[in-house]
Amino acid sequence: MRIISIDSMRALEQSAVSSGIPEYRLMRRAGTGAAAIISRFAANRFRRVVFFCGSGNNAGDAIVCAGSLDLPHVLLPFRDLSLLKGAAAEAVVEFGPKLNIVSPDSFDFEPGDLLVDALLGIGFAGNSVRSPLDKAMAMMKHSRRNVVAFDLPSGLNGNTGEYLPETVPAVMTITFGAPKQGLFLKDAPAMCGKIEVVPIGVEPESVPQALDHEYFCRQDAALLLKKHPLNSHKNSRGRVLVLCGSTTYPGAAVLASSAALHFSGIVRLLTVKHSMCLPLPAALISRSLDPEKSGALPADALRSNRDFAEASDVLCAGCGWGPDVSPELLADVLNFPGTVVLDADALNLLSRTPELWKKRSDIILTPHPGEAARLAEVFKIPQGLSREKFAAALAQKLGATVLLKGFHTCVSTPEGKTTINGSGGPELAMAGSGDVLAGIIAALAASGHTPPAAARLGAFLHGMAGDMGRGTIIADKLPELAAGAADLHIW
């Protein structure tokens, strides 16, 4: 989804109204969409939703949302609601009887409160906030409660990403119509938390894009996810070969192959024999090889198992290889005729043997920042670039799809087009998480997605698995949660 400026957002809304769509219809879509997101986010975590309500359309969005919630709520108006005009006044007429309105002067926080910042929205562009909204922001900050911001955290400039000292950090920002450029500039991402986009019936594609990169969100994932035809069979759903593991890291092979099984028809695994008896999924076709003395996969693992390679569409390689794999194995991997997903130690080996690289647009590299830095050094990528530009430069230099892991994971194409992933967070910072991601991406590529689409969708579903697990899971549970996230979006 395009990331746009505030002026472009206003132009979209004005164009919609000029075409005959009532402004209140846009507001109602925004408020009810936000209510669905808050209900999902708050379930079993918060007891009550407290709306800090300002003026203008942001107040109208809050009123619609509060009146549509299936959770207890309190609405704290910091402006007289009777003075609201236009669409916001219509919101008061429709939802006013459903609102639990409490004066800020008589309000007390309770355990389990989730706060909603609906004070300023996209209209703020100054250097200070007037009373009483400054008091409202101080009240939110001093409460130390979790905050969800509507459109933008109050006090954050939607064009520049600059924000006031009194701006309250949000755990989530629900932005309406399209993501605003200020959410992604300077230090703003740390203030905005997770970003959810609520469609309101405007078309971001019809206005100039503000930033070079785009945002990959639920709506984008839904467009890529498809139901399998009724006449599907295991071979039509894709065939993945997982070449992973070592005697030191045997679990990496299990995690990657298990993840691939959740998204493809057939998965074959080539790994090493080891003393640990790790349980393998019964549906997996596996073969254990005698390791090198170092415990690594043998150099001829692919050549001596040509039947596995020839029966596969996509190769997932590198997870748990360890530092002692032979460059001969990497050379064979890079000559695999189908799509290749390179992860972890395969990337480190490539940074030590860059002469093996051949530009191929059907290769997906999934480095974390350290691995990416090593690749950048040997392939002479400029330092000091933003994450988005760095990922784009690396993808263009290598002529491949690059997925740069981290907060706001970036996926860049060989042409340098970059998207920022809109799911996941620190809950995914766990051992084995990257192995699962590699397996998911490999399976999506095998099922017919292009390398960039497989990387984008894989990153999003992997992030959704982390969101659904809420920091209480281990990597073993991620494949099932990711498959569940895909099912939710398909249906």
Asked if residue 34 has pLDDT above 80, the reply is yes
Q: What is the pLDDT of residue 22?
A: 97
When pLDDT is averaged across residues 399-410 and rounded to a whole number, the result is 96
Query: What pLDDT score was predicted for residue 90?
Result: 98
| Rounded-to-integer distance, Cα 156 and Cα 148, Å | 14
Whole-angstrom Cα distance, residue 251 to residue 432? 8
| pLDDT at res. 196 | 96
User: How much is the pLDDT for 276?
Assistant: 74
pLDDT bin (cut points 50, 70, 90) of residue 471 is confident
Can you tell me whether residue 45 is helix, strand or coil?
coil
Tens-digit pLDDT profile for residues 89-148: 999 999 999 999 999 999 999 999 999 999 998 988 888 999 999 999 999 999 999 999
pLDDT score of 235: 87
CATH 2.20.25.90 fits 239-490, yes or no: no
User: In angstroms, rounded to a whole number, what is the distance separating the alpha carbons of residues 3 and 208?
Assistant: 9
Buried b (16+ CB within 10 A) or exposed e, 91-102: bbeebeeebeee
Residue type, position 357, single letter? W
For 165, how many CA atoms within 13 A lie in the half-sphere containing its CB?
A: 0
At position 340, the amino acid (one-letter code) is V
Structural contact between residues 60 and 31, judged by C-beta atoms closer than 8 angstroms: yes
CA distance 45 to 39: 10
Assess contact for 197 and 217: CB atoms under 8 A: yes
Contacts of 327 (CB under 8 A, 6+ apart): 349, 352, 353, 356
Predicted confidence (pLDDT) at residue 490 exceeds the cutoff of 60? no
Stretch 11-17: mean pLDDT, rounded? 95
User: Highest mean pLDDT range out of 55-59, 206-210, 295-299?
Assistant: 295-299
Element (H, E) at 429: none
The CATH code that applies to domain 6-211 is 3.40.50.10260
The predicted structure's pLDDT at residue 383: 83
Q: What is the pTM of this model?
A: 0.94
pLDDT of residue 292: 96
CATH 3.40.50.10260 domain extents, the chain? 6-211
The pLDDT of 470-478, averaged and rounded, is 88
Handedness of CA 204, 206, 209, 215 (dihedral sign): positive
According to the model, what pLDDT value does residue 470 have?
78
Residues 340-369 have pLDDT tens digits of 999 999 999 999 999 999 899 999 999 999
Q: What is the mean pLDDT of residues 267-287?
A: 90
- Determine the average pLDDT of the residues in 76-100: 96
DSSP count for the chain of H helices, then E strands = 16, 16
Average predicted confidence (pLDDT) for the chain? 95
**How far apart are alpha carbons 323 and 325 in whole angstroms?**
6
Taking CA atoms, 88 is separated from 49, 54, 59, 60, in Å, by 20, 11, 7, 4
351: nearest Cα among 368, 336, 337: 368
pLDDT-above-90 percentage for the chain: 88
pLDDT at 277 over 90: no
- Asked whether residue 491 carries a pLDDT value surpassing 70, the answer given is no
With a cut of 90, say whether residue 227 has pLDDT above it: no
